Chain A
Amino acid sequence: MLYSTYTQKSNHFIFNFYILIQFPVYFLIFYATFEERRMKFLVITATVVFLIYHFYNMIFREGLFIFSTPSYTLGSVLVIVCCLVYFFNLLSSESEINYFRIPMFWIATGLLFYFVGDTVYMSLLGYIVKNNLDTEGRFYGYIMFTLNFLLYGLTTFGFVSNHVWKKKI
């Protein structure tokens, strides 16, 4: 915002760099969480696929100065897949599970809410911008506020509940 205000230029390249860090960090979290080799390999594959696709979009397709919505959508879908795989693992686990003691459960829930909610708007971002549907980005602001609240609220709850639970015991 500040960059655009002062320079009167598009700040999309900042978001292109931001998602270059954002998604690999999420994949890294899942890589550290999964114990099975197969799952770790899946996360590495997702990271590599995302990076190749994003670089391809930035260099050959849309350019650095246009926000790459296909890359963002792919990243979102891959994070959703990781979350679902994590939930499936949790579901089929043979040991007793206490959600309050697993911060990752809440982080994955937050990520799932965030990216499922975000994907519809972001995948249609090109269309919305082209047709000037959300002029001031107010609608996007509401969605983002709700989804950010869910993501960070659930993540915080995960860590706090774990701490409280430990104290209780």
Chain B
Amino acid sequence: MEKKDIIFTIGFATLVLLILLCFLLFFFIKYRARRNKHIRETEIMKKTFETALLQSQVEVQENTFSMLAKELHDNVGQLLSSSKMLLGITQRELGKSPETLTIAEETIGKAITELRALSKSMDKEWLEQFELIENLSTEIKRINSGKMLVIVFSHTGKLPLTSEKQIMLFRIIQESLQNIIKHADARHINIEIKNDDENLSVHISDDGKGFAGISGDGLGIRNMKHRAKLLGGNITWNQAEKGSSVTIDIPIINSEL
């Protein structure tokens, strides 16, 4: 073998190795691209499944609320109405009724009004006929009438959300208000709804004792997180010097409207 041939062989062997390497890299990139596609598809499926699961959870909850609202209205409401009627009859029979009886009749009257408002706020069918602002104003009026605390509500007008999304947002605000009433020992609550072309933000703040001693992973909190996730947004809790606040940020998708 001549010197030239040996060098040529070495060069050829190097070239063959480099070509083999090119093939190896080509197959690597091709395989990885297929795997990437598979990962993307799996992720989309997982996301769709998760959304469907959350949606069904919310639907089940809404149906339960509706059922409960109907039961409250038809059963408990009827019983209270009958009691009020009986008290009225007794008052008329007695001629001059004692003060306690009058107070009892008034109290039952109040209970009926409260019960109706409560059952309305839980009834999905009723909720679907109205907008969040209107529903929330009614809910706030109901809570304010108790005179235990004062809720100040400010907003920028009609919300650019579908009625279904408005119900979800309403439930988050409702849960947040319930939490404040139950745990925060607050006197004032501020609810502010702001929106621009891209985002909608709900800010709820109170002057209570904050989150001290409250579990951050309760069913209510989890439901709020689920609903915010379903709305494609996020929910954050903040502890202030006095009180606490909840902020819900939701992106606005104009095509949905």
Q: Is A97 touching B14 in the complex (CB atoms < 8 A)? A: no
Residues of A at under 8 Å CB distance from B? 87, 90-91, 94-97, 99, 109, 112-113, 116-117, 119-121, 124, 128, 131-134, 139, 143
Q: Is A139 touching B7 in the complex (CB atoms < 8 A)? A: yes
- Cβ distance A136 to chain B, nearest Cβ, rounded Å: 12
Residues of B within 8 A of A90 (CB): 32
A133 and B18 in contact, given A91-B31, A94-B39, A120-B13 (Cβ under 8 angstroms):
no
Name 17 interchain pairs, CB-CB below 8 A, sorted by A.
Answer: A87-B28, A91-B28, A91-B31, A91-B32, A96-B43, A97-B32, A97-B36, A116-B17, A116-B18, A117-B17, A120-B13, A120-B14, A120-B17, A121-B14, A133-B3, A134-B7, A139-B7
Residues of B within 8 A of A120 (CB): 10, 13-14, 17
What separation, in Å, do the CA atoms of A99 and B35 have in the docked complex? 13
Check B40 for interface membership: any CB of A closer than 8 A.
yes
Q: Secondary structure of the B side of the interface? A: helix
Q: Is B36 touching A96 in the complex (CB atoms < 8 A)? A: yes
What separation, in Å, do the CA atoms of A103 and B132 have in the docked complex? 50
Interface size range on B against A? 20 to 34
Check B101 for interface membership: any CB of A closer than 8 A.
no
A124 and B10 in contact, given A94-B39, A109-B25, A133-B3 (Cβ under 8 angstroms):
yes
- Cβ distance A105 to chain B, nearest Cβ, rounded Å: 10
What separation, in Å, do the CA atoms of A96 and B35 have in the docked complex? 8
A116 and B32 in contact, given A124-B10, A132-B3, A143-B14 (Cβ under 8 angstroms):
no
- Cβ distance B2 to chain A, nearest Cβ, rounded Å: 10
